[in-house]
Structure formats: C-alpha cells, structure tokens
Structure 1
Amino acid sequence: MVDRFDTWESYFYPETIDPLTGNGTLRNLLDERHPAELARREYVRTNVRAQQIEGGAVAIAKTYDGSHLRAIHRHLFQDVYAWAGEYRTVNMSKGVGRGFGDVKTGEVDRYLSDVHQLVSSTDWRRLDRGDFIAHSSTVFAYVNQAHPFREGNGRTSKLFMQHVAEQSRFAFDYARVTPEVWNQGSALSGPDLYSYAPDPRSLVPVFDAITVDRRQGQTGGLDDPTRGRSALRASYPQAATDATRSTPPAGGIQGRGSAPYTPGARYGNDLGEGR
C-alpha cells in the first residue's frame, strides 16, 4: 500500500490500470484486485457503517460543511480505503463538460463553504414542501459539484442530505427513484463550461419524487417513514428489471439544452483531468 495518493495513477493497483481509460482497481485495505468483488465487499462493509450512522450508534457532528461530509465518509469507508475521510488530491470529471471542484484552486472548499451557508441560512422547519424541494436541490447540487472524495461521493452525500432534512418536516426516500434517474439529474446539474454555480433545475423533479412527509407519531415526536431503509441500499446497483419500477415525472428530467431523460442513461465513470 502506498502512503501517498497524489497522482491519478497512485490511487490504483498498477497492474489493473487500463491504458485506454486510465482507470483500474482502487487500492484498498482488503487488497482486492477484482473490481466487481471489491464493489461487493465494499458495499457489505459500508452498508453496516451506514446503518450505524442512521441508527445513531456513532456521533457525527452535524456542522453541514466539509468536516461533516468528511466525518460521514471516514466512518463509511474506514474498512475499505486508507484515504477514507480525506479529500481527493486529483481533479475528476464525468463525461464531457466542466469537471468537478478543482483541487488545485481551492474550489472544493469553496463549494462546501457555499453548502454551509445555504444550509445554515435556511429555516428548514418553516419550509413548505415546494420550498423544501427547491432548497434541497440547490444544496445537493453544490455538494455534488464539490465531489470531494475519490470514491463514495454519492453515498456520503445522501447521508449528508438526510441530516439536512432532519431539520425539516420532510425526509428522503431514495428508493423512490432509480439510480439512472438520480444519476441523470446529478449529471445535468453541473455548471456550464466556464461557470461556477451549479444549476439545480434538473434535480427538482428528482427531489420531488423522493421527498416524503415526516408523520407526527403518537408520542408527539417526529416519526421518520424511511427509518431503517439505508441510503446505501438505494444506491446499490439494481437488476435491469428493477429499473422500471420508478419513472421520472411527466416530461422527464430536462437540463439546459438537453434532450429529455432517456431511461438507461448513466452518470458515467470518473475521469482524471490532465493525466
């Protein structure tokens, strides 16, 4: 295991790197070289860790900033990656267009500072459903654009958004959309090529679909209808036959200058920049 992860290639086992894509199997504490087996073993471990967070068995300081995200990521991936809880050291993108937050210019910290400002300046308890969806879509768009970790951004950000929603009258049921719908909305929310601010409009129908009421329990406390349903379960790859059980809202998800959502479209693999 290398001690430093400061280049794109340093994150991978050298013998697994595909010369055409530059991707390979991420170095891991399990010393697993096969990507599919690593994904399976990673899921088993991170699902247990996610349930610990969701069940309150581990204390995560809810500061709604980079430290908050790092604490979630560290707990989730502590059994799998040596860099769990640490920001990536390389730039990344998915597909064409503008990449995620630039680690060389401090953009990751800037986006997460914006996240903190967006969350802390909002009175979440007073939001009606429409405003909650709009605010949540914007917060997630900034978290997604920061994309602070080399792997595990989606799972970490879903738990983070659950913590944000705890301040409101609403909760998220991520199983109400397929991974394809989630990924399409996320991909289309990125900034234009030479812009900074994400555009959350493509995420609004996604968050509309996953937002559910927290119902008042008999004891007077708030009862989360999604309790016990791990965010990671909704993130785990599904069989093709399962992908049809949820559909995007009428008209599909449509971003700036994009075609309507096409079922089966994927967010794409992580790509290094300037390798």
Structure 2
Amino acid sequence: MDPYVYPQTNILINKLGIQNEQELITIEAQFLIAGIIDIHSIADQIDFCDFTSIQKIHRYLFQSLYVWSGEFRTINIFKSERILGGLSIIYSNKDQIQHDLTHVFKWANKIDWTSSNTQLASNFVKFMTDLWRIHPFREGNTRTVSIFIKLFADYNSIEFNEQLLSQNAAYLRNALVLAAVEEAPEIEHLDKIITDALGFTRSHSSILDNSTSEKYQSIRDYDVSTYEEKPFTMDSDIDKTDK
C-alpha cells in the first residue's frame, strides 16, 4: 500500500484534504507558480555544491501542500512510459537516494562550470539526467530538478533560458526519460533543448517564436504534444526483494 496516497486512489495525501485529482492538479500548479516566482528569495540559503540544495528547493515549492516536501521518498516507484513501450526508468532504490545524490554532486564539484568550458552543454545534460534518474521525491522531481538547474546556472553566472524548458515541459520530460535509460541512453533530445537554453540570452528569452515551439513538438515519431502525465505507483516487486 502506497502511504503517500488516499486509500483506493492515486491522489496524493495533501494538507488541504483535496481528494479530487483535477482540483489537486490545479491547486498544485497555482502554488508552484507562486513558488517559482519567488524562488530566488532563498537562493542565498542554498549550497549548490551539496545534495541538500535539491531538498531545499523541493521543500520551498511543495511545503504548502505536502508534509513530506523536501524529504526523500520511502518507497520504490514505477511509472509506465509510453515512449519506452510501457516500461519504466529504473529509479534509485529508496535506500540509495542519499548515496546516489552524493556521488552525483561529487562529480559535479569537479567540473569547470564556466562559459569557457567547451563541454558545458554536455556537462549540464549529464548533471540534469543523473539527478533526475535518482528521483529522490515521491512527486515533483522534474520541476525541482529543472529549477535547480536554472538556479545552479545563475550561481555560476551562466545564461540559461529556463522558459524554454517550462514552455516545452512535455518534450523535456520525455527527453529526460530517454536520456535516463542506462542500457542505451538517447541524450541527443535533451542535448538539443539544453544547448538551446544555454545559447539564449536574457534579452530575448521571454519570447519563443513558432519555429522554436515546433522544434519541440516531437521525439522520434512520438508527438509529445499529446503526452499525458501518469501517476507513479509503488514498485511492489522491488519492495518485496528489499524485505
């Protein structure tokens, strides 16, 4: 039984007691927008060299709705991905989350995060993919990692067009899925949008023309504009092996 949801539902237990899925989605989006607008107010409290940075961002974004905001998940999770033919990414085991995050940040702290680094885009792609693959929280991982990457870029004085990611959220998530397949990752899709985000300047980042939007409408033959977010479920098979 998933301790994060109301019985016989996929609706996350929340502080407002909302048990209607669409209503919760709407309210969560409103809280999230408010949190994103004001997120820079906590930037000076975040140590971007440490995994606790991810926790602080998640807590700030979701603390109004979930008591577990900022806390690592206590269950193993599974999500059927249409772009993977119904398979799921193998996310970090719940008992390995802190270990895996520590490993990722140890790698990141060795990288030259400046515009003079010719591998900067590739480094951002790897950093984002490795963090996302861990999926440390029960919900809100893609949004948290995306915002972390933006704040991390700001911290390192790197121009990064976060609107390109937020306005193409369906493309971004599916690109992350393909990049996170450990056996045969396809990083080119994520590399495309991250490279573009790093290539934009603030002077024209607020407006995305039609050609830019069309660029992120599909991955392979999959029209991401028809993508529908599905809830996570407990990976019961993994849980059984843990016991």
Q: TM-score range by the shorter chain?
A: 0.7 to 0.9
Match of 1:71 in 2: 56
Return closer, same or farther for 1:118/1:260 CA change in 2, 3 Å cut-off. farther
Distance in 1, Cα, partners of 2:203 & 2:106: 28
Any unmatched runs of 5+ in structure 1?
A: 1-6, 18-23, 215-223, 230-242, 254-258
Q: Which moved more, 1:170-179 or 1:141-150?
A: 170-179
1:271 aligns with 2:233: yes
Distance in 1, Cα, partners of 2:99 & 2:59: 21
5 Å-filtered alignment, 1:81-230, equals 81-95=66-80, 96-104=87-95, 106=96, 108-128=97-117, 131-166=119-154, 167-175=156-164, 178-192=168-182, 200-214=187-201, 224-225=202-203
* Partners of 2:89 and 2:133 within 8 A in 1: no
* Partners of 2:142 and 2:173 within 8 A in 1: no
With normalisation by structure 2, the TM-score equals 0.79
5 Å-filtered alignment, 1:234-273, equals 246-248=213-215, 253=219, 259-264=220-225, 266=227, 268-273=230-235
Distance in 2, Cα, partners of 1:260 & 1:25: 31
Distance in 1, Cα, partners of 2:39 & 2:204: 14
Q: How large is the Cα RMSD of the aligned pairs?
A: 3.1
Return closer, same or farther for 1:43/1:98 CA change in 2, 3 Å cut-off. closer
Return closer, same or farther for 1:209/1:265 CA change in 2, 3 Å cut-off. farther
Return closer, same or farther for 1:140/1:274 CA change in 2, 3 Å cut-off. same
Shift of 1:43: 1.6
Distance in 2, Cα, partners of 1:50 & 1:123: 27
Match of 1:218 in 2: none
Give 1 or 2: higher helix fraction. 2
Distance in 2, Cα, partners of 1:165 & 1:58: 12
Instruction: Give the AA of the match of 2:23.
Output: E
With normalisation by structure 1, the TM-score equals 0.71
Any unmatched runs of 5+ in structure 2?
A: 81-86, 238-243
* Percent of residue pairs identical: 21
Distance in 2, Cα, partners of 1:93 & 1:225: 40
Distance in 2, Cα, partners of 1:137 & 1:81: 29
Match of 2:83 in 1: none
Match of 1:62 in 2: 47
Q: Which moved more, 1:117-126 or 1:76-85?
A: 117-126
